[in-house]
Chain A
Amino acid sequence: MTAAVAAPALLEVEDLHTHFQLKNKLVRAVNGVSFAVRRGEILGIAGESGAGKSVACLSILRLVPNPGRIVRGGIRFTGQDLLAKSEREMRDLRGQTVSMVFEDPLNSLDPAFKVGDLIGEALTLHKGLSRRDAWKKAGELLRLVGIPDPDRRLDNYPHELSGGMQQRVMIAIALSCDPALLIADNPTTALDVTIQIQILDLVKQLRDRLGMGVLWITHDLGVVAKLCDRVVIMYAGEVMEEGDVYGVLKRPRHPYTRRLIDALPKLGRPEQRLMPIEGRPPDPANLPSGCPFAPRCYKAQPACEERAVPLVQSGDGRAVRCLFPED
């Protein structure tokens, strides 16, 4: 389990396994993932595409599409077991105590409704507000997320807004019922960088003001460096490394983390040649035994592929799943 810290854990995911049983193969999207998010903490889940980050977070809200199933593991939110809840209880939870922001706002916002209605929907649903009151609260929320001229925006339809504004509307919807935990799946990848930085700054401010816990999925380690307090590095459905952002990015212990960082162009050091990771990520339907990264790892020994490698905690709040970690 993750190391104990002062602030109480808001969300605890323990040994999560989510698999998709297809016609002729079993896709192991998530294989034994554990992490925790505390109040007021921004936890980043980073990794390349296909690492299982999105599936892990959908599992938390039990929104994994068919034929996906959570086959093992525990998910606890403020101590309550989420896997034991009924669908109706989960519906109560979603959008109210735990809300989620997705990658593509245009696909997530119903184009037939005005912004005011979209934001107000959760309010009328969960809090029983009248339409007028919900509309008013929606205006406040738009102000909160930094949309200029909020009262006019309430009457707009999603397609009338720019990508950045749509994403802010998504965040407003997510915040409408004062959630304790915000889960965000790559919400800024499609945005311009100057807009992205506005959104990241907004999330930090909201965290400071409202004390929410935030779970942020991304494949961009730069975003992790800018936004997150702690980070979990995922590969092939497993946690490879975990710890505070500064430590993990400055002194990575897992060879994969190190290779990920070395593959990125670094601002200010153009002469440093990029080092791509050779090979391809494994097919989640066909995972090798032992460490999933071993076939591509410069430190791999035969022992790495023989048996599953345990995630080892070190006293300084960091954890590595590697037989030969750096450092």
Chain B
Amino acid sequence: MPAATTPLIQVKRLVKHFPVRRGFLDRGPAAAVRAVDDISFDIGSGETVGLVGESGCGKTTTGRMIMKLLAPTSGDILFDGQPIGGLSFEQERAYRRQVQMVFQDPFSSLNPRMTVGSIIGYPMRIQNAYPGAARDARIRELLELVGLSRYQASWYPHEFSGGERQRVGIATALALNPKFIFCDEPVSSLDVSAQAQILNLLKDIRSEFSLTILMVTHNLSVVEYLADRVVVMYLGKIVEVARTADLYQETLHPYSKALVSAIPTPDPDVERSREQIILRGEIPSPLDPPSGCRFHTRCQSFIGDVCRDVEPDLREVRPGHFTACHLYAERPVSASAVAGAAGQLA
């Protein structure tokens, strides 16, 4: 879906460093986990953006900053053109009405001491929305909307399966009629069948309620199913941004390629025919990321010193398709690099 005038969410040069607590006798400079290190991207109204990457890439941290569960170290996040930092109490409450979240672990996201109806009703209670009998009615309708029974409002979370609990989570997220929902790995702890149900449900409610969604996941086939655009992160940086179809048809960044090739898919034909990229080494620690391009230590298309010394900028290599890689630099470093890169671009 193409973005409307102002993107609903704008992330500008966002940085989040977590200081590491040091012992009393530690000498040397203070260490910090550089979870998110200067990223910028937009989410258009009605769009679903997939934010993908592996451990330590900063995707969950980014989402939590958008949800105002964490404060950025620097940088801005704009909602409907307005910064979300430094809001008054009422403004922040209004923001939270518009921006809701579906959590990763359905066994932790529901208070075991509350009935499912109370859980769904809680946001409405806090925000004083739908007072009186209307609230009860809305809770029951939300339950049915997500495929549960209205009579289960008095049940406790432990009486539901993982997939059903996740549906309660989605019902809770919809309670305040938000414009935007952040889904943090919504299906990774679910069984195959429950995954499919939740993904279908998200697809349906998204169109039903014209939602804007940011979905964080490590599973690229889930992203392909739901997202309009994909942002790929590695060690706190964005390495590629593209429309979903473009990303899979022409994956530009070497890391994205490795990621796509590593997703297991149950089709043996696809498994046999596709390129198998096996990266060297481990994911480096965000405490001490590699210099220059952070991916250079494992990159299968490593060019040379430039990768080690210079951090590549995120550049629009194709219309609407951005990547941060020296292979696609405006002025290539050397002729041989161009020759090598040409093979990649074909």
Contacts and interface: CB of A to CB of B under 8 A. Distances in A.
* B is a partner of A: yes
A249 B268 contact: yes
For A164, A194, A250, A277, the residue with the greatest tally of chain B CB atoms inside 10 Å of its CB is A194
Interface in A195-231: 195-198, 201, 219-226
A49 B195 CA distance: 13
B221 A193 contact: no
Given A48-B193, A197-B262, A223-B264, A268 B278 contact: no
B341 interface: no
A195 B263 contact: no
Contacts of B283: 162, 192, 194-195
Contact of B266 (A194, A196, A222, A280): A222
A156 B92 CA distance: 48
B263 A192 contact: no
Interface string B248-282: 10000000001111111111111100001011011
Contacts of A165: 282
Contacts of B261: 197
Interface residues of B, number: 41
A325 interface: no
Contact of A275 (B55, B196, B218, B279): B196
Nearest to B225: A265
A273 B200 contact: yes
A201 B270 contact: no
Given A164-B282, A221-B266, A267-B221, A48 B244 contact: no
Interface string B156-180: 0000010000000000000000000
B193 A225 contact: no
A193 B282 contact: no
A249 B266 contact: yes
Interface string A147-167: 010000000000000111100
Contact of A265 (B193, B221, B269): B221
A192 B54 contact: yes
A48 B54 CA distance: 24
Interface in B295-341: none
B199 interface: yes
A83 interface: no
Contacts of B161: 280
B192 A267 contact: no
A49 B264 CA distance: 18
B54 A194 contact: yes
B225 A48 contact: no
A275 B219 CA distance: 18
B278 A197 contact: yes
Nearest to B220: A267
A280 B192 CA distance: 12
Contacts of B276: 197, 201
B153 to A, nearest CB: 20
Interface in A264-280: 264-268, 270, 273-277, 280
For A225, A246, A276, the residue with the greatest tally of chain B CB atoms inside 10 Å of its CB is A276
Contact of A274 (B54, B191, B200, B282): B200
Contacts of B282: 162, 164-165, 195
For B200, B248, B265, the residue with the greatest tally of chain A CB atoms inside 10 Å of its CB is B265
A34 B286 CA distance: 47
A249 B200 contact: no
Nearest to B54: A192
A137 to B, nearest CB: 24
A226 B191 contact: no
A324 B68 CA distance: 54
B343 to A, nearest CB: 22
A264 B218 contact: no
A187 B118 CA distance: 39
A249 B278 CA distance: 24
B268 A276 contact: no
A266 B197 contact: no
B95 to A, nearest CB: 32
Contacts of A198: 278-279
A113 B276 CA distance: 36
A194 B297 CA distance: 14
Given A250-B269, A267-B220, 11 more contacts: A193-B218, A194-B262, A195-B54, A196-B264, A226-B264, A249-B266, A249-B267, A263-B196, A264-B221, A268-B265, A270-B244
Interface of A: 48-49, 148, 162-165, 192-198, 201, 219-226, 245-246, 249-250, 260-261, 263-268, 270, 273-277, 280
11 contacts: A48-B193, A193-B54, A193-B263, A197-B262, A226-B264, A226-B271, A249-B266, A264-B265, A267-B248, A267-B267, A274-B196
Sorted from nearest, which 3 A-B pairs have the closest CB atoms?
A222-B264, A276-B196, A221-B266
